[in-house]
Structures are given as C-alpha cells and as structure tokens.
Amino acid sequence: MKLSMPLMYDGNPRQAADQIIGLEKAGLDLVWVAEAYGFDSPTLMGYLAAKTETIEIGAGILNVFSRTPGALLQTAAGLDNVSGGRAVIGLGASGPQVIEGFHGLPYDKPLGRTREVIEIIRMGLRREPLVHDGIITLPLPADQGLGLGKPLKILTKVERAEVPLWVAALGDKNVAMTAEVADGWLPHLFYPEKAQAVWGDALAKGAAKRSADLGPLDISAGGMVAIGEGPETKALLDLVRPMYALYVGGMGARGKNFYNDLACHYGYEAEAKQIQDLYLDGKKKEAEALVPMEWLEAGNLVGPESYVKERLAAFAEAGVTTLSVAPATADPAATISQIKEWVS
C-alpha cells in the first residue's frame, strides 16, 4: 500500500509545500494538491516538482468545467515533464456551488463531460490530433468559430504517453464510470466497512466494462492519523468534525448535496438532515457536534497502535491501494515513517 497525503495549508501554501521535502524522505509516496476555489493547484504542483525528487504529485482535484480538455492536457503533460514523470491528475465534476458560484459556468452533464475529458487527455498524450464529437466537440465547427477548424496535436514531446488519471466520485453512475475508464478513484469521507454496501455494485458494473490495458483500479482514501493512548488522542477526532459538517451540511443546497446523500447511504439519515439544517441556518458548531463519532472513528486512524493497525487492515480490505494520511502529531515525518513501515 502506498502512502499519500493532502497538502494542508492555512495561509501561505509555500510553507506547507516545503514540509513535503521531509515527508518525502520519511516515505510519503504521493501528495494531493486540492484546488476548490482557492489557489490553483497546477502552480503549487509545479513548485512541488522543483522542490522534490521522488514523490508523485497529484491534482486532487481539477474540475472538468473551468478548463478546456486541451488546457487539462497541457497541465498533465507540463507537470509530468517538470516532475520527470511523477504527475498524477485527479479529475472531478466538483459541484454546482463551485462551478456556478465561482466559475460562472453551467453545471451541465458532469458525468458525460468527465468521461470525455479523460478520452481527450489520453488522446492528446498519445500525440494524436484532438478530434472528438460528443458533449465536447473538437475541433470547433467552422460555423461556430473563425473557420479554422483544423485539428491539432500537442506541440511538444510528452514525458509519458500515459499519465495516471484519477476521478473523484461518489454517486453510483459516476463510480461505475470511474471503475470503467479511470486509473484511480478518489472517494471522500470513506467508511471502509460500509464501502462495499454503498459502492460494490457500481464498482462491479464498471469493472465488467474495464479495458485490460488499464490494469486494476487504484483507490486512495484515508484520514487523520494520530497514534497514542488516552482520551487526549481520541479527542483529536473533534478536529475533523468541522470538515465533515462542512461537506454534509454546507456543500450544496437541500436536496442537492452529494456528501449528504453519502451520509444517508451510510445509515445516518437523521443526522444528515439535522446537520444540513443547522449548517445552512448558520449554526455550524451545533452541526459539527452531530457528526457521528462512529463515522469519525472508522474514517480516520486515531488511537492506540493496535487500533490504528486495525484501521489499516480495514482500509486494505476495502480495496484501498493508496492510503491518504493527515498526521495530527508533533512530528509528521516520524508518523509517516511509522505508518510506512506497517503498510510495506
């Protein structure tokens, strides 16, 4: 099992990125750089590429609306070049809140668009002319452009003809599509013991159509890591309550929140409704208090060594191939090194 970590920063991301150098030496295999509606991730990924030597640098994630497929291709090829073949491109549809509220674009046909973007990026990495006819049409027909509808291929020689393309997905159709065409899957707020019940059918449906050329589907999931005895260690789980409450309660409107739906699939229907009602009413602390401790314990690796090893086994049993960890310790590098020893 590989080890990955989301790049966490509060304020200046350069300081957080510089810490990755020590974590790379401790055994971290991959760093995920989020974007959402903060700093763009390609800039930070390029910075990391210059600062590191072996770690894979992943976009976690780039949405498929705000950049054209050609621009996403350029990002994948450019990052792979400056990193010496260490790029991993996480893609996703994001959600209406970001796409419409920040980028000013219609949130239209997200599933089909994600599939087509993957097709076009792979086509471009093979240095084929970008020709596509679907939701995304390339080249643009002459009557819609300037009459210069000649298909082009990427101008520069690429580092690798295949850059891993991962997809962040939660819904059944999106997960099935991911299992069919992506190199990896990024599920958020993952509960290992309930994953099969929630996504098993969708994963199987997609796997049945998967090309043998792609190899097995990689899965990256995990959470906070803190190894120790006593109530003070378990109390660290309260630090992730705001994030769970944000996604379940605030990422979307009533009736249109993928993470709220996920909480319901996990069996927390009553809690999900209450968390959303409170969060949207501005009562964030009350919403955070209702996040089930069972979910926090299962989705993170916090507790005595024996318990953390049990959680590692649970994530592995659920099919996770790249464990995502966020050390909540005084010495993150030592924590990474210890977990790396256990999963190797």
Q: In the structure, what pLDDT confidence band is assigned to residue 142 with cuts at 50, 70 and 90?
A: confident
Instruction: Please tell me the predicted confidence (pLDDT) of residue 146.
Output: 65
The whole-number pLDDT of residue 279 equals 98
Q: What are phi and psi of 290, to 5 degrees?
A: -90, -5
Which pLDDT does position 143 carry in this prediction?
A: 76
Pairing assessment for the beta strands 322-327 and 2-6 based on DSSP bridges: parallel
* Rg, Å, the chain Cα set: 20
Give the mean model confidence (pLDDT) for residues 188-197. Answer: 98
Extract the tokens encoding 224: 């906070």
Three-state secondary structure of 274-321: HHHHHHHCCCHHHHHHCCCHHHHHHHCEEECHHHHHHHHHHHHHCCCC
Query: In this model, does residue 337 exceed pLDDT 80?
Result: yes
Tens of pLDDT, residue by residue over 146-175, are: 666 789 999 999 999 999 999 999 999 999
**DSSP state for residue 158 in the 8-state scheme:** P
Q: What is the pLDDT of residues 238-252, one digit of tens each?
A: 999 999 999 999 998
The answer to whether 49 and 14 are in contact (CB under 8 A) is no
The three-state (H, E, C) secondary structure of 80-144, written as one string: HHHCCCCEEEEEECCCHHHHHHCCCCCCCCHHHHHHHHHHHHHHHHCCCCCCECCCCCECCCHHH
SS3 of residue 57 by DSSP: strand
Give bridge partners of residue 253 from the DSSP assignment.
256
Strand partners, 3: 323
pLDDT of amino acid 145: 66
Q: What is the pLDDT of residues 18-62, one digit of tens each?
A: 999 999 999 999 999 999 899 999 999 999 999 999 999 999 999
What gap in Å lies between CA 262 and CA 176, rounded to an integer?
Answer: 16
49 neighbors 83 (Cβ within 8 angstroms): yes
Specify the pLDDT at position 97: 87
Whether omega for the bond prior to residue 61 falls within 30 degrees of 0, making it cis, is yes
In angstroms, the CA 57 to CA 45 distance is: 6
Between CA 207 and CA 319 the distance in angstroms is 13
Q: Three-state SS across 212-275?
A: HHHCCCEEEEEEEEEECCCHHHHHHHHHHHHHHHHHHHHCCECCECHHHHHHHHCCCHHHHHHH
Instruction: Tell me the average pLDDT across 74-90.
Output: 98
Of 84-88, 94-98, 110-114, 186-190, least confident by mean pLDDT is 94-98
Round to whole Å and give the CA distance between 184 and 220: 8
Taking the CA atoms of 266, 270, 274 and 276 in sequence, report the sign of the dihedral they define.
Answer: positive
* Structure-token match 């997960």, residue found: 175
Mean pLDDT of the chain: 96
The ranges assigned to domains in the chain are 2-226+299-343
CATH superfamily of the 2-226+299-343 domain? Luciferase-like domain (3.20.20.30)
Q: What is the mean pLDDT of residues 323-330?
A: 97
272 closest CA partner among 255, 133, 2, 282: 255
Residue type, position 50, single letter: A
pLDDT at 317 > cutoff 70: yes
